[in-house]
Structure 1
């Protein structure tokens, strides 16, 4: 009996949970990359071959984009880090990125641990444009895991 293939999920329906911050919606969120360094090792008795061993893990940045509103919570978080550093109380927060299926059920979750805003950016002002103002927050993270 053949196994039934399921269609992959689409990336346009998602939620974010940021500990201690209430934000209505994000238009875009990146999932940070994860890289495991390779360490080359050669024993003195082996004249020909090197072995590759796993080294330290590194994680990319988490980027969040949302329309500019009256809410100052994310910007104030960025300002806390700018004034007091990433080790200040409340500066590091845990975040969950949750992918939803077409019916709104959670299908995949990435937990981001000890994130803090390292960059803030906003779209420019242009009198000839009717585009929505967008804020971008780039977050440095300690590590990330996919739990479902």
Structure 2
């Protein structure tokens, strides 16, 4: 009888974000934090449906544009103000401070099991928690991010833009025009 690997546990994950372009106002990483919740790792493809004349018993579906969700991270703790500074600097006219990063799910033993790689991230929401004097860390009640691309793979995959490591890797880019 062979041993069965335990399923991934959705409650153990790491979040790391880095700026795409260096700036004097921010040092990296933007985020290397622990959050209690992570939601919005999603992508949706809008198929183009064609009705071909004379073919009344079927439809032809073509690949259409891909849209991505909004990542929401809740109840996080970090030891710096980088996320808050990133949001503030990003609201200045003409400023585009995108970031890239990953959310790594961990197996029950703590080893990396699955990695979601995000590119073209922009902060769209920052919310502070209720203030509590007993904690010395900077708390983030909620961080909302939009992203341009989502790639899913195993932690040891070489990453987007390289040859897939096998059937375990799925990479989806922006939609066709």
TM-score range normalised by the length of the shorter chain: 0.7 to 0.9
Q: Structure 1 residues 51 and 22 mapped into 2: Cα distance closer, same or farther (>3 Å)?
A: closer
Q: Identify the residue that residue 73 of structure 1 maps to in structure 2.
A: 82
The aligned counterpart of 1:8 is 7
CA distance in 1, matches of 2:31, 2:47: 40
Match of 2:107 among 98, 101, 104: 101
Structure 1 residue aligned with 2:64: 55
TM-score (norm 1): 0.77
User: Unpaired runs of 5+ in structure 2?
Assistant: 19-27, 133-138, 155-177
Could you say if the C-alpha distance between residues 104 and 125 of structure 1 is closer, same or farther in structure 2, counting changes exceeding 3 Å?
closer
When residues 70 and 100 of structure 1 are mapped into structure 2, their CA distance, relative to the original with a 3 A threshold, is closer
Change in 2 beyond 3 A, CA 1:44/1:27: same
- Partner Cα distance (1:105, 1:98) in 2: 10
SS where residue 122 of structure 2 aligns?
strand
Aligned in 2, Cα 1:3/1:45: closer, same or farther, shift over 3 Å? farther
Q: What is the aligned residue count?
A: 138
Task: Report how far residue 7 of structure 1 moved.
Answer: 2.4
Aligned to 2:142: 136
The equivalent residue for 1:26 is 35
Partner SS state of residue 7, structure 1: coil
TM-score by length of 2: 0.66
